Amino acid sequence: MTVTSLQQQQPECSSDAEKNYERFIKWARNNGAYFHPSLKFIVTPNRGAEVLVTGQAIKPFETLFTVPYGISLSYFNAVSAGALGSPYLPRSESLPEEYLQSTSDHDTINAVFLVQQYLLGENSFWHPYIQILPQPGDAKDSAIPLLWPEEDLLWLRGTCLEEAVAKQKTDHMRRWTGAIEALQRCGWNTSQYTLELGLWAYYCFYSRYFWSIMLEPDVGNIKPEFQHLVRTGVNLDDTAKVLLPILETLNHAQETNTKYDLTNSGLSVSKNVELKPGDPFYIAYDKETQRFNNTVLLKDFGFVLPDNVAAELVLPFPFDLTKPMHPDHCVFSSAATADDPYWTSDDKYFSLVTSVQPGRKSHPAAGVAENSI
Compute φ and ψ for 230, nearest 5 degrees: -70, -40
Closest CA to 159 of 33, 28, 320: 320
pLDDT at residue number 289: 56
Compute φ and ψ for 4, nearest 5 degrees: -60, -45
List, in order, residues 6 or more apart from 17 with CB less than 8 Å away.
Answer: 43, 132
> Distance between CA atoms of 226 and 212, rounded to whole angstroms?
8
Compute φ and ψ for 18, nearest 5 degrees: -65, -45
Exposure pattern of 196-209 as b/e (b: 16+ CB <10 Å)? ebbbbbbbbbbbbb
- Between helix 160-185 and helix 106-120 the angle, nearest 10°, is 70
Count of beta carbons in the 10 Å neighbourhood of residue 55: 12
Q: Where are the alpha helices (DSSP H) in the chain?
A: 3-9, 15-30, 75-79, 97-102, 106-120, 127-130, 150-153, 160-185, 195-208, 224-231, 294-300
Within 13 Å, how many C-alpha atoms sit on residue 278's CB side? 4
pLDDT at residue number 357: 35
pLDDT at residue number 26: 95
Q: List the domain boundaries for the chain.
A: 1-72+244-285, 89-241, 303-373
pLDDT at residue number 156: 83
pLDDT at residue number 170: 94
pLDDT at residue number 63: 94
Averaged pLDDT, groups of 10, the chain, 373 residues long = 42 70 94 93 74 92 91 86 71 91 90 97 97 81 80 82 89 97 97 96 86 51 52 54 84 74 80 92 68 77 73 49 44 34 33 37 34 26
Q: What is the pTM of this model?
A: 0.74
Instruction: Classify domain 1-72+244-285 at the CATH topology level.
Output: Beta-clip-like (2.170.270)
> Distance between CA atoms of 1 and 44, rounded to whole angstroms?
12
pLDDT at residue number 301: 77
